[in-house]
Amino acid sequence: MDLGAVLMGLVTAGIVKLLVMTLTGVLLVRLFKVSDDGIKKPWLLIPREHQSRFRVLRWGLIFFAVSELACGIEIYVLSHSNALLACLHSMTSSVGMGLTAIGLFQIFDWKYLHFVDTTSPCIAMKTCEKCTKRQQNVCQYRPLLLMMAALLMLLTVPVFFAPTERLHADPGFYVLPFDSLNHWYDDLMTTLRESNPSAGSAAMSTFYLPEEMLVLEFRLLPILGMLLAAASIACFLGKQEDLAVAFLLFAVGNHAYVYFEVMIYGLTQEPILGFLLHECGELFFLVMVSNLLPRMFPKGPRSSVLN
């Protein structure tokens, strides 16, 4: 009765995962190219004078690529769960999300917000009589930002109730409603195992999420997010608001990853389904970044994301 689980795994590893790895590589290659032509889009060629604005975003994508490489080795090379690679994937994904949050904020701040970037009036000037941040380094919206940091610290607590025991796949969860097809697959696998006993190791029931990875994601990374939020509060109180925003954004990215993992694994308690949802979430994230970036530059002669 493994056929449904096998098909789910093939779709995830054979299609969605490959799309994620390909798009990650394409974005990194495009973001590392440089040109003096200011009309081209960033993954076609970044104008040289704007290279520094994309540095943090590039590092975020580099960490994301490392996480995908670790996951790819686990799937395509080892073909079984590995605690070390799973933890490497989780840690680099968290750092990548934090850096990406900072990187995207820097770009939007440069183009629209001007909270940190001082080349234009802050977007909040429409609601403020004067900008106290640029005069006294104390933004009038600081209480709101402090509340956001405090909320992030509180959001750490619910994650501690997520289970961290090794999560095994249950192929029975994916049984197809076609008895004849299920029996055909079972007979085929029985024949293969009789002729080659090692074929039994490919059963989907051997797929699991290691306890070490779940402890990292549901215990240690939330603590990291709490410490980042606390550092943000300390910087706000010390009138280091630009640094405080960076800590706050890193905490947001970290918590976004942690809560995403809680939803797909902690709530479903099914690693195969969670694996598919995880890859779909990563693909959506990459497509979102791909479609946000071209808005940062005037339109060039080419419009395709992958051209």
Convert the pLDDT of each residue in 255-304 to its tens digit: 999 999 999 998 888 999 999 999 999 999 999 888 877 677 655 444 44
Name the range with the highest mean pLDDT among 90-94, 197-201, 236-240.
90-94
Q: What pLDDT, in 10s, does the model give residues 216-249?
A: 999 999 999 999 999 999 999 998 888 999 999 9
Instruction: Please report the pLDDT score of residue 47 as a whole number.
Output: 62
Domain ranges of the chain: 3-117+137-167+207-296
Instruction: Please report the pLDDT score of residue 204 as a whole number.
Output: 54
Residue with the two structure tokens 């975003």: 57
Instruction: Please report the pLDDT score of residue 21 as a whole number.
Output: 93
Instruction: State the DSSP H helix or E strand holding residue 208, giving kind and residue range, or none if neither.
Output: strand 208-209
pLDDT value at 133 more than 60: yes
135-139, 154-158, 211-215, 231-235: which has the minimum mean pLDDT?
Answer: 135-139
What is the DSSP code string of 142-187? HHHHHHHHHHHHHTHHHHTTS--S-EE--GGGG--S-HHHHHHHHH
The answer for 114, left when phi > 0, alpha when psi is -120 to 50, beta otherwise, is left
**pTM score above 0.95:** no
